[in-house]
Amino acid sequence: MIRVTIWNENWHERHDEHIRAVYPDGIHGQLAAVLGSEADFAIHTATLDEPEHGLTEAVLAETDVLIWWAHVKHAEVSDKVARRVQEHVLRGMGLIVLHSGHMSKPFLRLMGTSGTLSWRDGDRERVWTVLPTHPIAQGLPPYFELEVEEMYGEPFDIPQPDELVFISWFSGGEVFRSGCCWQRGYGRVFYFAPGHEEFPTYYNEHVGTVIRNAVRWAQPVLRRGDFACPNVTESPESRCSGRS
Amino acid sequence: MIRVTIWNENWHERHDEHIRAVYPDGIHGQLAAVLGSEADFAIHTATLDEPEHGLTEAVLAETDVLIWWAHVKHAEVSDKVARRVQEHVLRGMGLIVLHSGHMSKPFLRLMGTSGTLSWRDGDRERVWTVLPTHPIAQGLPPYFELEVEEMYGEPFDIPQPDELVFISWFSGGEVFRSGCCWQRGYGRVFYFAPGHEEFPTYYNEHVGTVIRNAVRWAQPVLRRGDFACPNVTESPESRCSGRS
Amino acid sequence: MIRVTIWNENWHERHDEHIRAVYPDGIHGQLAAVLGSEADFAIHTATLDEPEHGLTEAVLAETDVLIWWAHVKHAEVSDKVARRVQEHVLRGMGLIVLHSGHMSKPFLRLMGTSGTLSWRDGDRERVWTVLPTHPIAQGLPPYFELEVEEMYGEPFDIPQPDELVFISWFSGGEVFRSGCCWQRGYGRVFYFAPGHEEFPTYYNEHVGTVIRNAVRWAQPVLRRGDFACPNVTESPESRCSGRS
Amino acid sequence: MIRVTIWNENWHERHDEHIRAVYPDGIHGQLAAVLGSEADFAIHTATLDEPEHGLTEAVLAETDVLIWWAHVKHAEVSDKVARRVQEHVLRGMGLIVLHSGHMSKPFLRLMGTSGTLSWRDGDRERVWTVLPTHPIAQGLPPYFELEVEEMYGEPFDIPQPDELVFISWFSGGEVFRSGCCWQRGYGRVFYFAPGHEEFPTYYNEHVGTVIRNAVRWAQPVLRRGDFACPNVTESPESRCSGRS
């Protein structure tokens, strides 16, 4: 089983009826539905208002891949929990950061950059695959369209991705690196741009394929324990010197 | 002029006569001497005990390249100053992190990883250039030797370097990625491993060449102002639509 | 001086009056005009029909940066000259490949991939900078527009660029990695997509800035001699063993 | 099943009794034995002297991963077959290049560089993992030793690897990027340095683990057909314009 925790700040859905109309079960609820088709995914959800935002040591220790959606409440995520998420990624947990999560504490801690970009209200987005063999791009057409999505545009202040999988086109004239992969410590991080709360993006079949693929891609290969710097008192050569 | 600020925690030199004997003017003093040969370098030094560790907004605003040496006092660097250094790098300031600075707050904030590695007391190190055309490698032989240096060994928990310039060999049997480059925001970061306080590494002519080259490589191309996410209310297409 | 050789297959201009009307002095002639503003550029041109296509050992040995424009005559470039160009790049010569040069023999020999992409007749192109600090992007606005340009679209079969500088937007709905950098051996390679022969692209001020910047970026740091694999009969350790 | 073709120039084993004593069934025979433990590998071997070197269109069309060992007969591999191997890699076939294959025609065609390095007769090699989470590094200790192996040293003229997995240490004082990954077209390429014909390297358990892991890593995700540049006569926008 791949143990997935879906985290959502869960604010818009509770305070704006127009958003609630789009995501009556919350964005985390719809993301859970998107993943629900996979028999080998064990899905858990957590939200900002829970104690420790629902991301205790115990929860993260049992999480293989964490999905992060947030927009207006980044500052309310405690530094302690943000650091805990970062450390679990460095130990091997996968992290999928969606849409406005580009300004979330865990993402910025892992990237080291400002995460800034330009944006504009609803536009038509076309997501192009530029790395067709990447596991996250499997099962997709050469491009797919989102009738209405928030425009996120370059320059996007991120470290150069280890792998650039998607580039988005917007009818208003912008481009964006909308699907980016990084290795950080023992963990994998995937940023995917689509997913503004006003629009039914997470009902799109291709977006669902991307997120399901990303969960499989981001699952841990190894988990790491502490972050010590070991003092190697006995050198490899001293250990093998008898032989040479 | 390239305005260089050399920062040193300046602890060992003041509290251990053996270290003071190696660096009577402090490691920052010797680094200043190493850079002193360059007529177009304006050199400034700062240390941990100064107010704001000598790294005020005013000082960093006037710094093109910051050199960082620290070892046992990482925790005493305030988060406020560490964040300020990170932000100035993202705005364009170059950063050269030396030796045990791999565990310093500014470096870890910019990398997002744990910075951990393995280490062992004095060994002989041989620094090999693997990217001979890199600006930081100019004027060096194919390799150079440090009679006695602290062993730093793999695995080194860093994001994959944008450019890997040096790999070190140790007589005890280890290897290490000892010269690594990254772009972060508008700034460039270079990590260089040699430089344990007990040894006269910063008197080595080739080490001096590396550091002088790194200062030139890391100087800003552009400086950035704020870190806002601009709302593009008028799309490029709406602006040019009259023409097509 | 930076010694620049501009190479053009020079076919369309001589056989199609419409193209000749756009580039009466040939595309190479207009590229020479674009570079002519730089007092420290020594500009030479060469074309397909010259002996050895004007790219003799002597010419390449005196060339710091080679600019390549070709479209319908790739197959007429001799393998011998294509290999010679590749070898000079590996020795340190810079190479700037323009537009349909993505299918030229020298580019494909250096990339190792098929260079294929999708294309469509005249469209409006908007070139976005995604790496604002890159030397090739200096002096440009956040984006610039080409009223009419041939659409080149993803997927583009190239090795992942060492640095991705530009991404293009097309009004018809495509995106393209239109400015890509690679290091190959001792040489630097830059591919820049705009420049279809039917359109006045090389009269555009921003395109001129890109090409002038690229020449400066691609100039050699070092030149390499032969491509031997030296047999190191005396190891570094045997040389220094007296000391340890 | 993963269909693996092991290719060997098969010269030393037939013309030098000392090599035959090390590899009585040929290096390809021992590599087949190394892979034989995997129930889901279908193993085929081919050698230089066969018609078309045993690498016909039919054989490559049925090959998921090709392993290449060669040393003194690179020039005898026909350009036609070398190009065929390159094209199958670009279509999706995995390629594992061993030891002196760094100068083989298929590897150089895919890299675009000279492949040159420095070398020295038998030395002790220690292979360090620098990317512990990479699939090719699974099941290995932090490092493993080869009592006697040919020294391959930097600088190694290759494009910067997409992923650097192993760095080797040699008792004589050199280092080498001994495990490197690249994506080329739809195919994956892995270069692994150990494997000089005079030494029993391919009997080493850890070397066997690396090669088995590499076969799994390099298997195709997708296979590509032709290498055309499609003319997109109908733009995505014209196709969707009815909707917006």
Contact partners for chain A, using 3 or more CB pairs closer than 8 A, are B, C, D
The alpha carbon of residue C231 is apart from the nearest alpha carbon of chain B, in Å, by 15
3-state class of C167 per DSSP? strand
Q: Which residues in chain A have their CB less than 8 angstroms from residue D135's CB? A: 221
Alpha carbon distance A240, D159 (integer Å): 34
What is the model's pLDDT at position B244?
42
| pLDDT of B241 higher than 80 | no
Question: What is the pLDDT averaged over residues D92-106?
Answer: 98
Q: What is the pLDDT of residue B239?
A: 84
Q: How far is CA D168 from its chain centroid? A: 17
Residues A118, B240: C-beta atoms closer than 8 Å: no
DSSP string, B92-109: T-EEEEEGGGGGSHHHHH
- Identify the closest residue of chain C to D92 by CA–CA distance: C113
Place of tokens 């076969």: D215
Both tokens of D203, joined, read 């009997």
Residue numbers in C near A177 (CB within 8 A): 130, 167
| Separation of alpha carbons A51 and A55, rounded Å | 8
Provide the pLDDT for residue B130. 98
Q: What amino acid occupies position B212?
A: R
pLDDT at position B243 over 90:
no
Calculate the average pLDDT of chain B. 96
The closest alpha carbon to B129, from B178, B172, B170, B95, belongs to B178
Decide: C182 and C165 in contact? Cβ < 8 Å.
no
Across the range D57-69, mean pLDDT stands at 98
Beta-strand pair B41-47/B2-8: parallel
Chain B residues with beta carbon closer than 8 angstroms to that of C243: 147
A203 contact partners, CB below 8 Å, separation of at least 6: A30
Contact B177 D129 (CB under 8 A): no
Question: Quick check: A50 pLDDT over 90?
Answer: yes
Looking up residue B236, the CATH number of its domain turns out to be 3.40.50.880
- d(CA C34, CA A218) in angstroms, rounded, equals 48
- Which residue type does A9 have? E
Contact (CB<8Å) D86/C112 = yes
As a whole number of angstroms, the distance between CA C51 and CA C62 comes to 17
Q: Is residue C198 part of a domain?
A: yes
Q: What is the number of structural domains in chain D?
A: 1
User: Domain limits at D51?
Assistant: 2-112+176-241
Q: Which residues of A touch D (CB under 8 A)?
A: 92, 124, 126, 131-135, 138, 143, 145, 147, 162, 171, 183, 186, 221-222, 236-237, 240, 243-244
Model pLDDT, residue A95: 99
Q: How distant is the Cα of C38 from the closest Cα of chain D, in angstroms?
A: 31
Kindly indicate the confidence band of residue B47, based on its pLDDT and cuts at 50, 70 and 90. Answer: very high
- Chain D hits for B130, CB-CB cut-off 8 Å, are 154-156, 175, 177
Band (pLDDT 50/70/90 cuts) for residue A122 is confident
pLDDT beneath 70, residues of chain C: 241-244
Read off the DSSP letter of residue B91. H
Using CB atoms, list chains with 3+ pairs below 8 Å to chain C. A, B, D
Q: Do A221 and D171 make contact, defined as CB atoms within 8 angstroms? A: no
Q: For residue D107, give the 3-state DSSP assignment.
A: helix
Asked if B141 and B206 touch (Cβ cutoff 8 Å), the reply is: yes
Is the Cβ–Cβ distance between C224 and C185 less than 8 Å?
yes
Question: Is C159 a member of any domain?
Answer: no
Q: D227 vs C159: CB contact, 8 Å cut-off?
A: no
Q: Which residue type does C161 have?
A: P
Output DSSP code: residue D134: S
Tell me the chain B residues in contact with residue D166 when contact means C-beta distances shorter than 8 Å.
none
pLDDT at D243 over 70: no
Residues in C closer than 8 angstroms to D162, CB to CB, are 160
Residue C124: enclosing H or E segment and its boundaries? Answer: strand C118-129
The least confident of C169-173, D93-97, D235-239 is D235-239
DSSP category for residue B221: S
In a domain, C96, yes or no: yes
Widest distance between CA atoms in chain C:
76
pLDDT by residue (tens digit) across C42-56?
Answer: 999 999 999 999 999
Pairing outcome for strands A143-153 and A118-129: antiparallel
Phi-psi region of B173 (alpha: psi -120 to 50; beta: other; left: phi over 0): left
Distance to chain D for A198, nearest Cα, Å:
18
**CB-based contact B138 C186, cutoff 8 Å:** no
| pLDDT over 70 percentage in chain B | 98
Grouping H, G, I as helix, E, B as strand and the rest as coil, residue D156 is coil
Asked if residue D149 belongs to a domain, the reply is: no
The model's pLDDT over D121-134, given as tens digits with 9 standing for 90+, comes to 989 999 999 999 99
Q: Other CB atoms closer than 10 Å to residue D197's CB: what's the count?
A: 24
Residue D244: the pLDDT is 42
- Supply the mean pLDDT for chain A: 96
ipTM over cut 0.85: yes
Q: Which residues pair with D211 in a beta bridge?
A: none
What is the percent of chain A where pLDDT is above 70?
Answer: 98
* Contact flag D138-A171 (C-beta cutoff 8 Å): no
In a domain, A146, yes or no: no
Q: How do residues D24-55 score in pLDDT, each as one tens digit? A: 999 999 999 999 999 999 999 999 999 999 99
Average of per-residue pLDDT values in chain D = 96
Instruction: List the chains bordering chain B where 3 or more Cβ pairs fall under 8 Å.
Output: A, C, D
- Using CB atoms within 10 A of its CB, is residue B70 exposed (0-12), middle (13-18) or buried (19+)? buried
pLDDT at B16 over 60: yes
Q: Tokens 């590899």 correspond to what residue?
A: D23
Nearest CB among D92, D133, D243 relative to A147 is that of D243
Closest by Cβ to B135, choosing from C92, C138, C221? C221
Choose, out of B103, B111, B113, B183, the residue to mutate when testing the contact with A (most A CBs < 10 Å).
B113
pLDDT at D65 over 60: yes
pLDDT band for position D240 (cuts 50, 70, 90): confident
CB contact under 8 A, A173 and B237: yes
- What is the reported pLDDT for D241? 57
Concatenated DSSP letters for D161-183? PSEEEEEEEETTS-EEEEEEEEE
Give the Å distances, CA to CA, from B192 to B47, B96, B177, C237.
Answer: 20, 7, 9, 23
| Assigned domain for D166 exists | no
Task: Choose the closest CB to D154 out of B130, B156, B177.
Answer: B130
Least CB-CB distance to C175: which of A128, A153, A156? A128
Please tell me the distance from the alpha carbon of residue A186 to that of residue B180, in angstroms, as a whole number: 19
The verdict on a CB contact (< 8 Å) between B124 and C186 is no
Alpha carbons D144 and D129: distance in angstroms, whole number: 9
Is residue A240 pLDDT above 80, yes or no? no
Read off the tokens for A26.
Answer: 């919350």
Has residue C32 been placed in a domain?
A: yes
- Give the residue from chain A lying closest to D188, CA to CA: A133
CB contact under 8 A, D154 and B126: no
Contact A172 B237 (CB under 8 A): yes
Question: Cβ contact (<8 Å) for C132 and A126?
Answer: no
Best C116, C149, C223 residue to mutate vs chain D (most D CBs within 10 Å):
C116
Per-residue DSSP letter, D231: B
Q: Is D118:C230 a contact under the CB 8 Å cutoff?
A: yes
Q: Residues of chain A with pLDDT > 90: what percent? A: 97
Cis bond upstream, residue A51 (ω within 30): no
